[in-house]
Chains A and B, each alone.
Chain A
Amino acid sequence: MSDYILETKKLSKEFKGFTAVSAVNLKIQRGHIHALIGPNGAGKTTVFNLLTKFLIPTAGTIHFNGTDITGEKPADIALRGVIRSFQISAVFPNLTPRENVRLALQRKLGVSYHFWKSDSILKQLDGRAMELLEDVGLAEYAEEITGELAYGRKRALEIATTLALDPELMLLDEPTQGMGVEDVDKITALVKKVSANRTILMVEHNLKVVATLADRITVLQRGAILAEGPYAEVSQDPQVLEAYMGSAHD
């Protein structure tokens, strides 16, 4: 198997004549935490949505583990082990956290279409669901209404739900966006903890988080790759500094 879990070639996306992403060649190494950064409007979220198939590329290809997944649907790549999170916390608000996690575990039982069975057969998943909630520090909130949880806890729940699928590749869309300082530290530690044995690609605004977590960084600007490399290297790149600060010297 190749060393790269995800590879894009000349990935492009145009919206009615406006090129949001142009010829992006991205290589994500297996086992890495890879961060995608860049100023506002650089096309990070567009790239992210292309990778998760929520948008269809105008040109270019996406390979996952050597297989061309360019033409697949979002649910298909989820079955391959590519699971995404969302910028605005994606939970099922009127269910409990336990049910949220269980929904991710449920798919493997193969009974999801069985409308004639009682949902008590899902109880066998409760143990695993509680373990996952424990992992993200939510065990004591397992029976609350998810919609009423604090924002940081919702994001933690989202990560627990994503982990329940045991994804090979986790795609995190701004995991710390809109959080207070304490929550940022918690989530950073959590991402670090769950990164063992898997690959993570994250879009992130907070450079401190990126510096702590990322093995490798890709900087996007105006839809194209500006620089790529380890944080220490990229953060000294004059072009990157200019893109972020508006000046190479400060």
Chain B
Amino acid sequence: MNKKIWIALILLGLLAPFVVYPVFMMKLLCFALFASAFNLLLGYTGLLSFGHAAFFGGASYITGHLVKNSGLTPELGVLGGTLFAGLLGYLVGSLAIRRQGIYFAMVTLALAQIVYFVALKAPFTGGEDGLQGIPRGDLFGFIDLNQVYSVGGNPVALNLYYFVFVLFCLGFWIIHRTIHSPFGQVLKAIRENEPRAVSLGYKVERFKLMAFVLSAALSGMAGSMKSLVFQLASLTDVSWHTSGEVVLMTLLGGVGTVLGPLVGAFTVVTLQSELSSVGSWITVIIGVTFVICVLLFRRGVVGELGRLLKKSL
């Protein structure tokens, strides 16, 4: 895609904390990465997982535990969470890819519910309260992530923001590279016509499993980031609502497009925060938005835009 778009997006990201409420912006980045990682699986491999919250939430618990109770630095906490999610992805993926379509989704959902149960009952997760007061700590041991700077009279944790932004860019770059790699080509082939990919000699199970692990690990990275931003790992992160939300974001923005998940995450997170005053009605509003989206532009916002411009975005 156009280099100019990328440079503009990076500049926007760098300047954002001076304009937008930074915690909101960081939440957005976490969910945008989560949705992009999910899209790698749904949009480019054709696998609908309904248990991605297990990776997102699981990693946020692990990161929280590592930095709070083991006293690790935040970057090691994120690394630990990401690796854990990758490992969990390997286990879940190995079981789930034996089935296809709706059965695949069901297996991922069932296994994610087990993770939810563990998060509820295990001794180190804090049960219903979750892990609270996770320290942000010092990046590499000397950059204080709690350090606030005065931006237009408001205190802003710029160190933390840029740490999160760099992680987001890294994760997004890995996804982008994966999509546009020889491996990504085979994934697309599997999405398009699995029996044909088999008959060309590709062992599709291995490709699917690798895509699953990558997607899980990057979802975990997003969850780890989230636990540092909000200093909290909670049951919401591992619940099936979160799994559903990421499906929603991806479809809304445009499945199988690079920018779609970003737009989708932006839309859903903005709606949630702008409409938080209306209470539980928010579910209805987001639901209606989703229905309208599916009826009017089935390819999602970016998907339709791409079709109009005859470009793959």
In the bound complex, what is the Cα–Cα distance between A52 and B199 (angstroms)? 8
CB distance from A218 to the nearest CB of B (A): 22
Q: How many A-B residue pairs have CB under 8 A?
A: 100
Contacts of A85 in B (CB 8 A): 199
Question: Which residues of chain B from 226 to 271 have a CB within 8 Å of any chain A CB?
Answer: none
Closest B-chain residue to A93, C-beta based? B192
Interface residues on B, range: 20 to 34
In the bound complex, what is the Cα–Cα distance between A86 and B195 (angstroms)? 9
Choose one: A86, A92, A121; the contact of B189 (CB below 8 Å). Answer: A92
Question: Which residues of chain B from 185 to 229 have a CB within 8 Å of any chain A CB?
Answer: 185-186, 188-189, 192-193, 195-204, 206-207, 210, 214
Interface flag for B99 (CB, 8 Å): no
One of B151-159, B175-183, B278-286 at the interface: B175-183
A83 touches B210 (CB 8 A): no
Contacts of B74 in A (CB 8 A): none
CB distance from B290 to the nearest CB of A (A): 24
Given contact pairs A75-B204, A93-B192, A115 touches B184 in the complex (Cβ within 8 A): yes
Choose one: B182, B195, B197, B201; the contact of A165 (CB below 8 Å). Answer: B201
Contacts of A95 in B (CB 8 A): 188-189, 192
CB distance from B57 to the nearest CB of A (A): 25
Contacts of A83 in B (CB 8 A): 199-201
Main SS class of interface, B: helix
CB distance from B200 to the nearest CB of A (A): 5
Contacts of A78 in B (CB 8 A): 198-201
B196 touches A92 (CB 8 A): yes
Interface flag for A6 (CB, 8 Å): no
Contacts of B193 in A (CB 8 A): 90-93
A118 touches B180 (CB 8 A): yes
Interface flag for A104 (CB, 8 Å): yes
Given contact pairs A103-B185, A118-B177, A94 touches B201 in the complex (Cβ within 8 A): no
B198 touches A75 (CB 8 A): yes
Closest B-chain residue to A90, C-beta based? B196
B185 touches A116 (CB 8 A): no
Contact mask for chain A residues 86-130; partner B; CB cutoff 8 A; 1 contact, 0 none: 100011111100010011101101011111111101100000000
B202 touches A75 (CB 8 A): yes
Closest B-chain residue to A122, C-beta based? B182
Interface flag for A137 (CB, 8 Å): no
Contacts of B185 in A (CB 8 A): 99, 102-103, 106, 112, 119, 122
Closest B-chain residue to A99, C-beta based? B185
In the bound complex, what is the Cα–Cα distance between A75 and B189 (angstroms)? 14
Which residue among A52, A85, A94 has the maximum number of chain B CB atoms within 10 Å of its CB?
A94
Contacts of A86 in B (CB 8 A): 195-196, 199
In the bound complex, what is the Cα–Cα distance between A37 and B214 (angstroms)? 47
B202 touches A112 (CB 8 A): yes
Given contact pairs A75-B204, A92-B188, A114 touches B181 in the complex (Cβ within 8 A): yes
B199 touches A84 (CB 8 A): yes
In the bound complex, what is the Cα–Cα distance between A119 and B178 (angstroms)? 9
A115 touches B183 (CB 8 A): yes
Choose one: B177, B192, B195; the contact of A115 (CB below 8 Å). Answer: B177
Closest A-chain residue to B202, C-beta based? A75
A115 touches B200 (CB 8 A): no
Contacts of B201 in A (CB 8 A): 75, 78-79, 83, 107, 165
CB distance from B62 to the nearest CB of A (A): 24
Closest A-chain residue to B190, C-beta based? A92
The 7 A-B residue pairs with the shortest CB-CB distance in the complex, in nearest-first order? A78-B201, A92-B192, A115-B183, A90-B196, A115-B178, A111-B182, A74-B198
Q: Can you pick out 17 interface pairs between chain A and chain B where the beta carbons lie within 8 Å of each other?
A: A75-B198, A78-B200, A78-B201, A79-B201, A95-B189, A104-B200, A106-B182, A106-B186, A111-B183, A112-B182, A115-B210, A116-B181, A117-B177, A119-B182, A119-B184, A119-B185, A122-B182
Given contacts A91-B193, A117-B183, A118-B180, list 7 more A-B pairs with CB under 8 A.
A92-B188, A99-B185, A112-B202, A113-B207, A115-B177, A119-B184, A165-B200
- Report which B residues bind A (CB closer than 8 A): 174, 177-178, 180-186, 188-189, 192-193, 195-204, 206-207, 210, 214
